[in-house]
Amino acid sequence: GSDKNRAIQHHSRNTDMSVEPTSSSTLINGTGSQVQEIDVASSPGGEVKLSLKCSADPSKLKMPDLEAVYKMVEDKYLCSDKLLPPDFSIPGLMAEICQSVVQMGTQHTMTEHITQSHTVGNGSTSKCVEGGSASSTPAPQPHLALSRTTHDVHDISRGQENVKIPIANESGRGKCPPSFSYIPGNEVFQNGIVNISLAHIGAQDSCADCFGDCLSAPVPCACARVTGGEYAYTPGGLVKPEFIDKCVSVNRIPEVHHKVFCKTCPLERSRDKASPEPCRGHLVRRFIKECWSKCGCSMRCGNRVVQHGIRCNLQVFSTGNGRGWGLRTQNALPKGAFVCEYAGEILTCVEVHGRAVENMKNNRYTHTVVLDAGWSSGGSLKDEDALCLDGTFYGNVGRFINHRCRDANLAMVPVQVETPDRHYYHVAFFTSRKVEALEELTWDYGIDFDEELGPVKVFECLCGSKYCRGSRRHRQRLRNGNGNGKKRSRIEG
């Protein structure tokens, strides 16, 4: 009723089409219930009209202000730089208008508009909320399931990052990311040990005599020792191209890079403690060591990048191609730019294996990264020192980064910040090349798709890369080439 004489303000590319004032009517359908119908636009002569027909019970759905609906749709479709997403379509836009009317018309409070309720495998519930009035993130608890998590579509981090990270759903199906609690940094789940103390940081692991910006000093400080006496970062905050290229090479052609073999591998021990299989090897990766609390430099020092958190404009979006949700950048990024880190619960390998078995019962994938870049040959880590990160229940936007074989646009780099111990580090993602605005961000998980991984089934790869090693055709070709077509059995966390 409030929109009966309201004209819709709208920019049309066709000057022959005009927008007439809306009109509304109430009809009685065959079942005796009321049907609300509102004309929203028409051609000058009235030959063609667009209207909204609402068949819901008026007591449950009140027709909202259409200008507010259009504003909601515009906020969902347009990025901060007013660019349309690459998969924009008129049918999708119309579906989004209808969905927005339902959202606003069925609101339960004046501050929250519930857009979707989505149940995941363990019976927990996920909601998308507009307005940012959701409760704060609870501290991680030693259990596997969450009862309910509410996502703010304008900022999935709910103010915990330097920038807002919105959720975009161009599919028009009202989906919402799965239930999890957002944490910007890593948190210990239960048995893992991370020694973060000033006493643990020796003089060789800090630059107490530095002042201001270490990168502007004539001689590199002690923190550059990890990267061969030269800083990995440029004064502009980017990782140097040659460093990134070497990190990318480790994932692209792992067979030519050095591996270490544990005397008793924590991964194999977690699967079979009585008689673990021999270590399969762990790739040696290049570390970056950032300045920290015992360093004399300022917080603006150029050797402090990852610890400052996310700076670029990111967006969680529905891929619409069978790969679920993904992460993309809203602005172009140069090569070597820090995007985000993979944050989650810090677990031991034993805890991860138990969780993987439990998740398989609930048909849920485990988002796990093994922190094995610093493991040494001939070593035998204790269970509490062999750590992994799991973003399934508590994590950040890093959990949305999808896999892509070989030519992914992100490189994973282990970064030391709070502790010199290499069994714990930050899993940081940097761009491996220039990334265009609205391009999806991906990284190579390093998965051997030809293996059968015990309680965790290998997913069918849909990355679309011409180098894809996980497609059915590619794996069949490898088996035919090997002749016997046998698969090794391996249990992975």
Tokens read off for 45? 């002569």
List the one residue out of 251, 336, 216 whose CA is nearest residue 288. Answer: 336
329 forms beta bridges with 314
Would you list the domain boundaries of the chain?
Answer: 35-105, 167-478
The single-letter code of the amino acid at 351 is E
Q: Considering the entire predicted model, what is its pTM?
A: 0.70
Q: Which residue has the tokens 């591998």?
A: 265
pLDDT of residue 437: 97
Rounded distance, CA 429 to CA 413, Å?
6
Rounded distance, CA 53 to CA 39, Å?
9
Task: Give percent helix, percent strand, percent coil of the chain, each to the nearest 5.
Answer: 20, 20, 60
pLDDT of residue 148: 53
Contacts with 445 (C-beta within 8 Å, 6 or more apart), sequence order: 403
Q: CA–CA distance from 293 to each of 22, 193, 208, 214, 405 (Å)?
A: 63, 20, 9, 14, 38
Rounded distance, CA 208 to CA 223, Å?
10
Q: Return the CATH architecture of domain 167-478.
A: Beta Complex (2.170)
Rounded distance, CA 257 to CA 164, Å?
39
List the one residue out of 159, 2, 9 whose CA is nearest residue 70. Answer: 9
User: CA dihedral defined by 416, 420, 423, 426, rounded to 10 degrees?
Assistant: -20
Q: Which residue has the tokens 């093994």?
A: 370
Q: What is the pLDDT along the chain (493 residues), one digit of tens a residue?
A: 344 333 333 333 333 433 344 455 555 555 555 677 777 777 766 668 788 887 777 777 777 777 777 777 776 665 444 455 555 667 777 777 777 777 666 653 333 333 333 333 333 456 676 654 443 334 444 444 444 567 899 999 999 999 999 999 776 555 788 889 999 999 999 999 998 889 989 999 999 999 999 999 999 999 999 999 999 999 999 999 999 999 999 888 888 888 999 988 998 898 888 888 899 889 999 999 999 999 999 999 999 999 999 999 999 999 877 888 999 999 999 999 999 999 999 999 999 988 888 877 777 776 789 999 989 876 678 889 999 999 989 999 999 999 999 899 999 999 999 998 888 999 999 999 999 999 999 999 888 776 655 555 566 788 888 888 877 555 565 566 554 443 333 323 3
Rounded distance, CA 367 to CA 456, Å?
11
**φ, ψ at 386 (rounded to 5°):** -90, 100
Instruction: Return the exposure string of 56-67: e unless at least 16 CB atoms fall within 10 Å of the residue's CB, then b.
Output: beeeebebbebe
Is residue 283 within a helix (H) or strand (E), and if so which, with residue range? strand 282-283
Rounded distance, CA 383 to CA 377, Å?
17
- Count CB neighbours of 316 within 10 A: 21
pLDDT of residue 493: 30
pLDDT of residue 426: 97
List the one residue out of 183, 179, 176, 135 whose CA is nearest residue 157. Answer: 183
Instruction: Return the exposure string of 319-349: e unless at least 16 CB atoms fall within 10 Å of the residue's CB, then b.
Output: bbeebebbbbbbeebebbbbbbbbbbbbbbb
Contact between 429 and 415 under an 8 Å Cβ cutoff? The reply is no
CA 135 from chain center: how many Å?
21
Q: Which residue has the tokens 């265009």?
A: 436
Rounded distance, CA 168 to CA 326, Å?
10
Rounded distance, CA 294 to CA 418, Å?
10
